[in-house]
Amino acid sequence: MLIAFQLAVKNVYRKRERSLLTIIGVLLAVGSFISLLSLAEGLYARFAKEISGRKVDVYVLPPDAAALPTGPVGTIGFTSDVLSLELVKKLEGKEQFPDISSVCPIYRFPQKIGNQTILVWGLGEDKFPLFFPRFNLKPGSRMYSADAPEVVVGGNFAMARGINIDTPIVIEGQPFTTVGIGKPGESFADHFCYISLENAIKLKNAKGAQEIWIQLEKSVPATRKQVADAIKTAYPHLNVKTREEYLGSANEYVSYAWLMQFAIAAIGVLIALTAAMNTMLMSTYERVKEFGTLRSIGTSRFTVFFMIQVESLMLCFIGGIGGVVLGIMGSQLLNDAVMAVLQLSFPLAKITPSLIAYAFLLSGFVGIVAAIIPAIIVYKMNIIDALRWE
């Protein structure tokens, strides 16, 4: 088998320009594959991290609301329905739902601050540390008050906008004073602003909360399911989800984006596959006589088959390595572009190890498929015809 590798290396080197063009084709395909899918991969990873980082056992949403940890973005997940604050009181009542330990109504709305649109969250100041245990305030900070125009700013957003304690921020035309700044981190929560629920409802003239988050006495899947079922039975018109269901539902949205990005990336991969197949076919037909010679001196059919596969895999893996590097750079550019266009305050793209593994699998797939026809031709070739090939 070693001889197959040695001959494959020499053949790749023999037609350097053609090999280079094939490598570039694969490199571009893998690069675009990684760049595009890094957006969906980033969302998957961030959603999972975000939802597991919150201490929420059960989510209660209006009937048509989408489960998105970022809250409504554009028209996605937006519903005009709200949940009454009466419902909050009922859920808090120990008589009906004894397993519930805490209830947190949420109201979120997008707000343009400077050249960025960020989400402003309204939630009770006493609930904040309970439901966002990983959100740490910087020294000198404090939580906002319920009735004062005060805001707590996520660490990443504060850093990006140069916001300090006492910096005024205008929300819905009202000046708010920054009283707290979070430590920068990788969570979505570090990119948002927080005010009291009362202020949020007043500013938006809302009639209730958009979501209700619930914590249980015993945070285990079985209890979550039990309580969610009990709420559904009591309020069948509501959209009630356990933490696991909420994550699954959020991932479903991302999977649509993933599929769409995959479909676009697949076009590039098909083009690269065609180019690699053409290269391998041309290169094989140019060397029919050599394969005939190899067979005549005792090289097995499998060895020549393997030789062509190795040659193609080598070209595609070199392209794959370059593609990963290009993909990482492309992902950063795409992320910046998407953030600018959608005016997002948080990064979307993320290069995950699984994405890099997919990229190498893709390179391998292109390598094997591109060489399959030439390899079969050589495998089945009549030796005498090959020796007489002109």
Binding site for other proteins (CB under 8 A): 2-3, 7, 10-11, 13-14, 289-290, 292-301, 303, 383-384, 387
> CB of residue 318 vs other proteins: minimum separation in angstroms?
18
- N- to C-terminal Cα separation, the chain: 28
Handedness of CA 26, 32, 37, 38 (dihedral sign): positive
Q: Which amino acid is at 90?
A: K
Residue 70 vs 284, nearer CB to other proteins = 284
Q: Residue 119 pairs with which residues in a beta bridge?
A: 110
Q: How are the residues of the chain apportioned to helix, strand and coil, as percentages rounded to the nearest 5? A: 55, 15, 25
Instruction: Return phi, psi of residue 187, to 5°.
Output: -85, 155
CA 356 to CA 363: how far, in whole Å? Answer: 11
Taking alpha carbons only, the member of 83, 86, 35 closest to residue 63 is 83
> CB of residue 302 vs other proteins: minimum separation in angstroms?
9
CA 267 to CA 275: how far, in whole Å? Answer: 13
CA 106 to CA 211: how far, in whole Å? Answer: 5
> CB of residue 281 vs other proteins: minimum separation in angstroms?
19
Residue 52 vs 382, nearer CB to other proteins = 382
> CB of residue 311 vs other proteins: minimum separation in angstroms?
12
Residue 60 vs 288, nearer CB to other proteins = 288
> CB of residue 319 vs other proteins: minimum separation in angstroms?
22
> Which residues have C-beta within 8 Å of that of residue 283, sequence separation ≥ 6?
11, 15, 18, 311, 374
> CB of residue 184 vs other proteins: minimum separation in angstroms?
56
In order of 61, 377, 380, the CA distances from 386 in angstroms are 71, 11, 11
Residue 354 vs 382, nearer CB to other proteins = 382
Residue 360 vs 389, nearer CB to other proteins = 389
Residue 278 vs 293, nearer CB to other proteins = 293
> CB of residue 370 vs other proteins: minimum separation in angstroms?
21
Residue 3 vs 148, nearer CB to other proteins = 3
